[in-house]
Amino acid sequence: MIMIIDEAFFGFARAGTMDGNTPYPCILDTTDPEQLKLTDGSLVILGQKARPFREKETDETADFRNPVEWLSEDIVIIPDGAQLIQRPRKLIEKLSYVRNKHGMSKLIYLQGIADPYLIPILVYAGVSIFDDSTIRMESIKGIKYTIFGRSKADSAEITDNIDFIRKLIKAVSRSIHSGSIREIVEKYQISSKALEIMRLLDKDYEEECEKFFPRRTPYIKANSLESLRRPDLTRYREYVSNQYKKPSGKNVAVLMPCSARKPYSTSKSHKRIIEAIGKMRNQVHELIVTSPVGLVPRELEQTYPASSYDIPVIGEWYDDEKSMISNIIGAFFKNNSYDKVVAFVDKDLEFIMDSLPEGSILVSWDRSDESLSRLRETVSSIISEHPSSVKTNYKMERYTKIAEYQFGEWIAKYLEGCKIVRNYNSEMVVKDGKPVLIFNEMLGKFTINKQSAPWFIENGKFLVEIDDFKPTANIYAVGVLSTTPDVRQEDEVVLHHKGELKGVGIAKMPSRAMIDLKKGVAVKVRN
């Protein structure tokens, strides 16, 4: 049996070692019998004998379960990868079937393909092992791999091509560790099939991908329209469209463009807008219109993904962006009503007027003092006609909305009567004199402590059940008994055993992997 130790996850992609010295993702040497050989009708991979697996099939499923996969103790082998890759939809169906049938305890080996221009997306889709058979064939044909694609050469050294792919795989492995493999996949669009596979995953397997996709990544480089369908962005837009509820007392909505600087309120343009609105802000709900995120209520500007994206700006919106923004705005205002809606936007954003409630007001924003004066006069006139008597603590209101976004609307009742206390470089939510949540300004999220952990146990939210032991620095997958379905990688989680609080920490692998695996860090314990 191979000792598989996962070191890092990103969605379906995983990186680690086999037997402590063979890293994966990896490429097998088909000329080395220690790695791969066919003997007596059996396939032996890394010393393990693989056997055909076939369960009773129905006519509806037989087409994509053929060819049948092979199983060894630790590896699922999908034969005839070169044929499957010609039909990307069938390949993704097969990978999904294998993952759901055999779980995360086995690595997936896609046989007979090591196309350097497909490896990043295939790793992203869950493949961990490749072989060099196609590399050898293409090298004989004089094909040389370059960063720009295949080229024809008088002589193509197989060692150069294999070295090219091994360096690529190392880079992909590093991107899993660093949380940037999605950016790698989006940039590496030499192969149209790679793009097709990514689009199929984002569109047809959106729900499955979301369950595995980390709650947050180090950053979002939205350099192509493919970024619009990132699972973390669609997850956010789903929340704002269908679950978000506006703060009480804010009955005038003002929509405005985003800024390159994050948080938006620290930019010169937003400081000018905030100054123009002035003391009326307690009745104004500021909404930022942006791509690829969509719509950002001011109180969520410090959170992921609004705080963590970068996008090239040319002053022109693509149709896909317009459609995304229009959809989220339309859904938002169906669930949130205001006395009046004001769009304070540039000319290129005026298309949003078609998605705003009837009677909304357009005030053109041209960066001039005159336009800011028009905004101030418009808002002042509306408030004089629709005054609000609701008095709120703006900072506590903002933190309550961040907590609702991070954990769910259920947490709001626990934050009633809480105060915000500054302690050194962080702000704490304090209840009955005790800190219950600490806001991490760098990450734009709250950390749970043992004072607030019982809230999560009581509500069955963000829980990882472990065996009856005292957790130390890390919880390994072997010690995990169950998780609640809301847990995603990089989530704040509460550790318990049969309802008894054991600690808190951060999830470091998808919840499915926590259940299926025996090795690897499942939760990084904080206290």
Q: pLDDT tens digits, residue range 99-113?
A: 999 989 999 999 998
Query: What pLDDT score was predicted for residue 69?
Result: 86
Same domain, 357 and 241: yes
Look at the chain and report how many structural domains it folds into: 3
Same domain, 54 and 193: yes
Same domain, 78 and 166: yes
Q: Is residue 218 domain-resident? A: no
Q: Is residue 219 domain-resident? A: no
Global pTM value: 0.93
Q: Can you give the CATH number for the domain in which 409 is found? A: 2.30.130.10
What is the distance between the alpha carbons of residues 323 and 291, in angstroms, rounded to a whole number?
A: 11
Mean pLDDT value across the chain: 92
Same domain, 353 and 491: no
What is the distance between the alpha carbons of residues 113 and 451, in angstroms, rounded to a whole number?
A: 52
Cα 203 to Cα 87, 92, 123, 200, 239, distances in angstroms: 16, 12, 18, 5, 18
Same domain, 431 and 504: yes
User: Is there a contact between 65 and 167 (Cβ–Cβ < 8 Å)?
Assistant: no
Same domain, 196 and 342: no
Radius of gyration of the chain (CA): 26
Terminal Cα-to-Cα distance of the chain (whole angstroms): 35
> pLDDT tens, 494-513?
999 999 999 999 999 999 99
Decide if pLDDT at 208 tops 90.
Answer: yes
Same domain, 407 and 357: no
DSSP string, 299-320: GGTTSTTTTSEE----S---HH
Residue of 325, 267, 330 lying closest to 298 (CA atoms): 267
DSSP string, 479-504: GEEEE-TT--TT-EEEEEETTEEEEE
Same domain, 330 and 248: yes
Helix (H) or strand (E) holding 225: none
What is the distance between the alpha carbons of residues 208 and 99, in angstroms, rounded to a whole number?
A: 11
> pLDDT tens, 153-204?
776 688 899 999 999 999 999 999 999 999 999 988 888 899 999 999 999 9
Lowest mean pLDDT among 15-29, 47-61, 433-447: 47-61
User: Is there a contact between 218 and 305 (Cβ–Cβ < 8 Å)?
Assistant: no
Residue of 237, 292, 263 lying closest to 398 (CA atoms): 263
What is the distance between the alpha carbons of residues 347 and 134, in angstroms, rounded to a whole number?
A: 53
Last residue of a domain, one of 183, 212, 241: 212
Last residue of a domain, one of 385, 403, 419: 385
Q: Is residue 446 domain-resident? A: yes
Query: Measured on CA atoms in the order 510, 514, 515, 516, is the torsion positive or negative?
Result: positive
Cα 104 to Cα 76, 202, 205, 341, 526, distances in angstroms: 10, 20, 17, 49, 26
Q: Is residue 217 domain-resident? A: no
Same domain, 47 and 134: yes
Query: What pLDDT score was predicted for residue 58?
Result: 47
Query: What pLDDT score was predicted for residue 313?
Result: 77
> pLDDT tens, 232-242?
999 999 999 99
Same domain, 409 and 355: no
User: What three-state secondary structure class fits 115?
Assistant: coil
Decide if pLDDT at 253 tops 60.
Answer: yes
CA angle 43, 512, 3 (to 5 degrees): 40
Q: Where are the beta strands (DSSP E) in 361-488?
A: 361-364, 419-423, 426-431, 434-440, 445-448, 463-466, 474-476, 480-483
Q: Can you give the CATH number for the domain in which 277 is found? A: 3.40.50.10630
Q: Is residue 220 domain-resident? A: no
Query: What pLDDT score was predicted for residue 312?
Result: 83
For 429, the domain range is 394-525
Both structure tokens of 499: 């309802």
303 or 21, which is more confident? 303
Last residue of a domain, one of 151, 180, 212: 212
Same domain, 327 and 280: yes
Residue of 229, 227, 237, 254 lying closest to 294 (CA atoms): 237
* Mean pLDDT for the stretch of residues 237-251: 94
Same domain, 408 and 328: no
Query: What pLDDT score was predicted for residue 55?
Result: 64
